[in-house]
Amino acid sequence: MIEKIYFGRTGHKSTRTIFGSVAIGELTQKEADPVLDLLFKYGVNHIDTAASYGNAEDRLKPWLRIHRDKFFVATKTEKRTKKEAWNELMTSLKRMGVDHIDLWQFHGLFNQDEWDTVMGKDGALEAAIEARKKGIISYIGVTGHEYRVPKMHIQSLKRFDFDSVLLPFNYFMMTDEEYRLDFNELLSLCRSRNVAVQTIKSLARSYWEKGDQKGPTWYKPITDIEDIRKSVSWILSHDGLFLNTTGDVKLLPHILEAAANRIPKPDRSTMDEMVTRLNISKIFPFPMD
């Protein structure tokens, strides 16, 4: 089984691997349903989804109808105003067939103009605070991508006492000195406030070559089982961090197996060899069409 630790200050002991339901967003219900058995096999008790993850919220509905009490449920909104975010939250609840979620997150908040809207008058933050007062949500989080996101999360935490953050984290990204310093500054702040830190892009390898995409993720992932084991074990060797699983459901069993049977933290030479052999490179900024 996968290790469980407290998800920040929430009082919930979450598995350190969180199911990223973007992986089922483009699947039929028949294709998605077996994933639940896999989650139960490894004891995964935390689901992360988003309004923008295709049909993921709809696919979760039959599961949550029966097993709502077994999962900490988080979703996200990309809407920035109070009215739009509130309406999307109501839609998310309906799609999942629930009247309450545990965590609601501002999705991809790393643009300053959008940040100003969310945090300002009639912004999405007001919707979250109201939803929490009404018992519709329990906790509020913020997520982001790109290399500047640790600084943006620090800015967000200075503005509001968020319960969780989510951002990219893997060995290659941490070889970038500026990102490493910013990430560690954010991590220190989160630990001092008992804010949960979720990580994404654990298996990011590089951009796809034009016309060569062979899977559902917009980036080329690491796919070799032993390399997955190294990557997952390296991330989970960092105390207190959570790993959100990747968007390719075919890789999910390997990630969960690696998390359940972690190897000792791979040393720098092992990880450097993998970076060189797989030609791992930056996946940010987002590719332009």
For residue 150, the domain's CATH number is 3.20.20.100
- Mean pLDDT, the chain, rounded, equals 97
Residue 258 within a domain: yes
| 175 pLDDT above the threshold of 80 | yes
Residue 154 within a domain: yes
Beta-strand relationship, 196-200 and 241-244: parallel
Token couple for 264? 């000792």
Residue 54 within a domain: yes
| pLDDT score of 287 | 76
245-288 pLDDT, tens digit per residue, is 999 999 999 999 999 999 999 999 999 999 999 999 999 998 76
85-112 pLDDT, tens digit per residue, is 999 999 999 999 999 999 999 999 999 9
Residue 283 within a domain: no
Residue 30 within a domain: yes
| 69 pLDDT above the threshold of 70 | yes
Three-class DSSP labels, 63-121: HHHHHHHHCEEEEEECCCEHHHHHHHHHHHHHHHCCCCEEEEEECCCCCHHHHHHHHCC
| pLDDT score of 153 | 98
Residue 285 within a domain: no
| 289 pLDDT above the threshold of 70 | no
149-158 pLDDT, tens digit per residue, is 999 999 999 9
| pLDDT score of 48 | 98
Mean of pLDDT values over 186-211: 96
| Enclosing domain of residue 157 | 4-278
| pLDDT score of 288 | 60
Residue 284 within a domain: no
Q: Which helix (H) or strand (E) holds 19?
A: strand 17-20
Residue 286 within a domain: no
Mean of pLDDT values over 203-220: 91
> How many structural domains compose the chain?
1
| pLDDT score of 201 | 97
